[in-house]
Structure 1
Amino acid sequence: MTDEGGPAVAATGTVEHGPDGPELVITRVFAAATTEVWASLTEPALLERWIGRWEGDPSTGRVVFLMTAEGDDPEPEECTIVRCEPPYRYAVDTATAGGTWHLAVELTEADGATTLEFRQRLGPDDDAASIGPGWEYYLDRLVAVRSERPASTVVWEAYYPAQSEHFARAAAAAGT
């Protein structure tokens, strides 16, 4: 049970050894074409339905991201586009007050379904026990809007702190 009295959502993410160190990994599967899921991740109006929007010209290799899901006046985050291969994969580095996050998404399609694999490289000061539940929450908001449900049906209190222990154990098992 969460502090709000509702059921906790089971954590699905793991922590794995990536080429540059430990990575938080979370997957979701959608009954949709890769191009449709890609649009939900990259088109500002669709992206804003579940997490936020970007502004700027991506052809410059940089955009500003506004995490509008966390309030009406979000702090802009500088995003450097490290890799972009539509509609299959992208990677960005985001600069926030807390440091730089290295994020990557890969989409694969098979049998009419698209699997989204999200990865965040964990630095020495990154706490998987707090970061993991956050990404589980946001990816479930994406699942909700892709299923034509309001993102608000996904309740933060069902994720944090309920999933923290799962991610702490995953990070410890990965040696972080």
Structure 2
Amino acid sequence: MTTDPQVEQDGRTVALRREWPDPIHDVWSALTESERTARWIGTWAPATDTTVEFTMTGEVDAGGEVAPPVTVTIVECDPPRRLVLDIPEGDGPPWRVAVTLTEEDGRTVLLFEQRVVGGLSPADVEAGWSWYLDRLGAALHDTAMPQWADYAPAG
């Protein structure tokens, strides 16, 4: 796994890069099939042609609780290359997250991007998604899940 976090100059967009030796279709499946997303972030069920009901369960491993289901909008889905979602966040604007997969030198490269909205801290958003992407890597390779304490921003 390779890690390369970046925050755009405006400090409001988090971009994270990961790469694995796995085929692109396997990484795509781990991102989009509920039985596989359950291993690292949560489960989902279809709601309409462009929405899913998503239940985040990964927070339990960070000492949290299973979140109530939320309706996530699928903005763009181009298998196995790109997935863009709007994830509701309280009463504020949704979190727009984008994942782009490419193949480079026999490896699958994942680029994750999220524009940070409202009063959220880019450092907090980066920490959370870094943890989840490393959980994705652990799920891909059936290895131990990373510990949230190693990612949590200092206080």
How many residues matched?
A: 148
What is the aligned partner in structure 2 of residue 64 from structure 1?
53
> Structure 1's 94 and 111: CA in aligned 2 closer, same or farther, altered over 3 A?
same
Unaligned runs of at least 5 residues, structure 2: none
**Over 4 Å off, 4+ runs:** none
Q: Pairwise CA RMSD of aligned residues?
A: 2.1
1:108 aligns with 2:97: no
Aligned residue for 1:123, secondary structure, equals: coil
**TM-score, normalised relative to structure 1:** 0.77
C-alpha contact (below 8 Å) 2:116/2:125 kept by paired residues: no
What percentage of aligned pairs have identical amino acids? 37
Question: How is 1:22-61 mapped onto 2 (pairs within 5 angstroms)?
Answer: 22-57=12-47, 60-61=49-50
Aligned residue for 2:80, secondary structure, equals: coil
Letter matched to residue 14 of structure 1: Q
Letter matched to residue 131 of structure 2: Y
Give the whole-Å Cα distance in 2 for the aligned partners of 1:129 and 1:24: 8
Kindly name which structure, 1 or 2, has the bigger radius of gyration based on alpha carbons. 1
Q: Deviations over 1:102-154 (max 9, x none)?
A: 00000001221000000001124221121110011111111111121133xx1
1:13 aligns with 2:2: no
Structure with the higher helix share, 1 or 2: 1
The CA deviation at 1:17 is: 5.7
Larger RCO (CA within 8 A; separation ≥ 6):
1
**TM-score, normalised relative to structure 2:** 0.86
The CA deviation at 1:22 is: 3.6
What is the aligned partner in structure 2 of residue 142 from structure 1?
136
Unaligned runs of at least 5 residues, structure 1: 1-10, 165-176
